[in-house]
Chains A and B, each alone.
Chain A
Amino acid sequence: MNGSPVDIIIFAPLAPIFGVALLWFIQLLFIEFQKLLLSKIKRNHQAFCRFTNFIGILFQSICHALGFTVTKSGIAHFKVTVDYGRVKPKKNRKGLFEWISNSFLFIGPFFLPALLILGCFVLINGGIDVTSSVNYTFAEGVINFFSNVYVLLEKFIILLVRIDLLHPVQLAFFILLVFLGLGIRPSYIGEDKRRKVDMMYDLRNIWSHITRKPLYVILLFLLAYVLSYLSVLFNTNWYVFLFSILGWLSVTSIVALFIAQVIILLIKTTDEIPGRLKILTYITLPLSYIIMRMIFFVFSVEIYGYKTISLLVMILSTVLVTFLLLYYKTNKFKTKINMKSLKKKTKET
């Protein structure tokens, strides 16, 4: 075992915690960007925004209920609507139990949808590889943590690139990814602006939750340190693995958010196309994929990665159709008759 004792005792346990915090911050930025995009399309797509709100509120309420269940407070009332969720406990517990149930409420919505996606991913993929090292220094901890995260990210991207949208299980996984990606946000995009609900609002909530009971946070840190020392003692680096799960959840959320954002961006772009022509974009999307797959199937073209090629064709053709529609249909200065003949006509008259 290499590394100085100070590093192993004081700094090494902090390595995966920093890693999780960093990924979680990136996740927050993605959430903020998604909220910005949603607020841009809110006017024309109120139903869509309400739907995303509902998914977000549903998970928030489930997390809240989960918090009450874990702390054995019981659930007296559970209500989820498009605008708000309400969960009431049977017993109003104070102290540590209250703090834990609130932790579920504030932090749960960031991770619970991702947990569902990750579970499905593991089922489809058949597990995730974990890297471990025998060195328990801060640097090794960071490397181990990010290696684990990278392994998952790589496998996730490979799955997405090779995804077969005509395979029911994979299609269901993709739909789940998009739906949950739309709902991985704890705060609400309302019908009207009641108050500023943004990333800072979420962070302020979490910060006040932490500072209200600093003793519990210190206890959590102490627990983390104890776990770290135990993993050094037994020479099995499952301390980093434990935090890697949180890292995986963050990465899963980021991927889901990214895909959801691409879809929102497509909706936002097609909104600029006048009239009903925007339907062409939405028709091109599945049609191009199905045509490509049929070509590969009917003509028995044996090309490696034909699913990826079909996906690529689908994306490119959709982008091209959208671009062409935007170019030809939104040019306000373009006249029906060309300028030369128009000038001639005006001269004649």
Chain B
Amino acid sequence: MEQDELLNNEKIEKVLSPHPLSFMKYQSLCIFLIIWGLLSLWLANFSEYKDLFTINEWFPIVVWALVILAVGVLASIVAIRWLIFFMYLGIVLLGIGLVIWQNWIQGPWIVLPIYTVAMSFIGFLLVEWFRISHKYIISNHRIVFKGGIITKEERTLRYDKISDINSKQGILGQIFSFGTIIPISQSGFGLGADQSFAAGGVQLGDKKAKFLGLFGGGREVQTPRARSYYELHGVYPYKEIKKLVESMVQGSVITQYQQEQVEFQKEQVDIQKQMRDLLKMQNGPKTGGKNDKEDE
């Protein structure tokens, strides 16, 4: 953060980036590609099933593509993100296109495994690029979230606007001491929704006349969720950062005890005002009388 971006009396406490393993859900997609690339190489060239792959020149390509697409579908369903499937589809189509274009179909089964491993390395690089694009600045006044590879995004959150802090630490985070902290603002920024939907179909009637009914119901649950640019994603050391953020929020927000003290002080002021008025009222007629006499 540059000096001119700082506010008056602002002091930077910490500048953070996500932990290298904090984007494991994306890295695991690349790890799968490495494993499948090496496994397919072994299956078609060295394993006891290698004869199976020589039946037809397209057979290994079909197996290779189907496994990648199946895992893509599975990962997309689990992560509820179809981008994964389309990414894998892109890899498959590009691979097949490359093989046809260069006429590598009849050669030894080596090109596509190497291509798969190479694609996974590119994937790792992209994930790493995405990771290092994140920058979280914790100052004594606010938290600044910065990120974006092409489009730069920035979010500033003042501590007095934070209503809640959600923090989570997965198993990998617990092992490597990193975790995610989501500051939820009073406007609800930092909250997402989990949706579940149930549906049932009914078919009525015989062969000639059919009636199909579909009944369904949905449910939504608010849950702390934000994009990695808008949360302290996979910060290290987790416990220390969490303590720092909480202490900053506590320092900016009036606590229950302080509220009670303010109320008490208000009451004291009111009482003192009432007493002053009473004293004025008591003293008022006497002084008035004297004046009257003097006037007379």
Interface of A toward B, CB cutoff 8 Å: 46-47, 50-51, 54, 81-83, 166-168
Contacts and interface: CB of A to CB of B under 8 A. Distances in A.
B78 interface: no
B175 A54 contact: yes
A85 to B, nearest CB: 12
A168 B175 contact: no
A50 B174 contact: yes
20 contacts: A46-B177, A47-B175, A47-B176, A47-B177, A50-B174, A50-B176, A51-B175, A54-B171, A54-B174, A54-B175, A81-B171, A81-B174, A82-B171, A82-B174, A82-B175, A166-B42, A166-B46, A167-B42, A168-B38, A168-B42
Contacts of A167: 42
A245 B175 CA distance: 34
A166 B41 CA distance: 11
A46 B46 CA distance: 39
A50 B238 CA distance: 15
Contacts of A50: 174-176
B39 interface: yes
Interface in B1-46: 38-39, 42, 46
A134 B204 CA distance: 71
Contacts of B39: 168
A16 B133 CA distance: 63
Interface of B: 38-39, 42, 46, 171, 174-177
Contacts of A168: 38-39, 42
B53 to A, nearest CB: 15
A-B complex: 4 closest residue pairs judged by Cβ atoms? A82-B174, A50-B175, A47-B176, A51-B175
A325 B46 CA distance: 37
A164 to B, nearest CB: 10
Contacts of B46: 166
Nearest to A167: B42
A101 B175 CA distance: 29
Most chain A CB inside 10 Å of its own CB: which residue of B39, B174, B176: B174
Contacts of B171: 54, 81-82
A160 to B, nearest CB: 21
A82 B177 CA distance: 10
Nearest to B176: A47
A167 B175 CA distance: 29
A83 B171 CA distance: 11
A81 B171 CA distance: 7
Most chain A CB inside 10 Å of its own CB: which residue of B42, B46, B175, B176: B175
Given A46-B177, A167-B42, A168-B39, 5 more contacts: A50-B175, A82-B171, A82-B175, A166-B46, A168-B42
A51 B175 CA distance: 6
Contacts of A51: 175
A54 B175 CA distance: 8
B21 to A, nearest CB: 10
A230 B46 CA distance: 50
Contacts of A166: 42, 46
B108 to A, nearest CB: 14
A70 B177 CA distance: 36
Contacts of B177: 46-47
B157 to A, nearest CB: 29
Contacts of B42: 166-168
A40 B136 CA distance: 36
Contacts of A54: 171, 174-175
A331 B171 CA distance: 40
A197 B42 CA distance: 45
Contacts of A46: 177
A168 B39 CA distance: 7
A132 B42 CA distance: 41
B39 to A, nearest CB: 6
B176 to A, nearest CB: 5
A51 B177 CA distance: 11
Most chain B CB inside 10 Å of its own CB: which residue of A46, A50, A82, A83: A82
A54 B38 CA distance: 29
Nearest to A53: B175
A83 B169 CA distance: 13
A14 B171 CA distance: 44
B267 to A, nearest CB: 47
Nearest to B174: A82
Nearest to A82: B174
A81 B179 CA distance: 14
A82 B42 CA distance: 36
A166 B39 CA distance: 10
A47 B176 CA distance: 5
Most chain A CB inside 10 Å of its own CB: which residue of B38, B39, B42, B171: B171
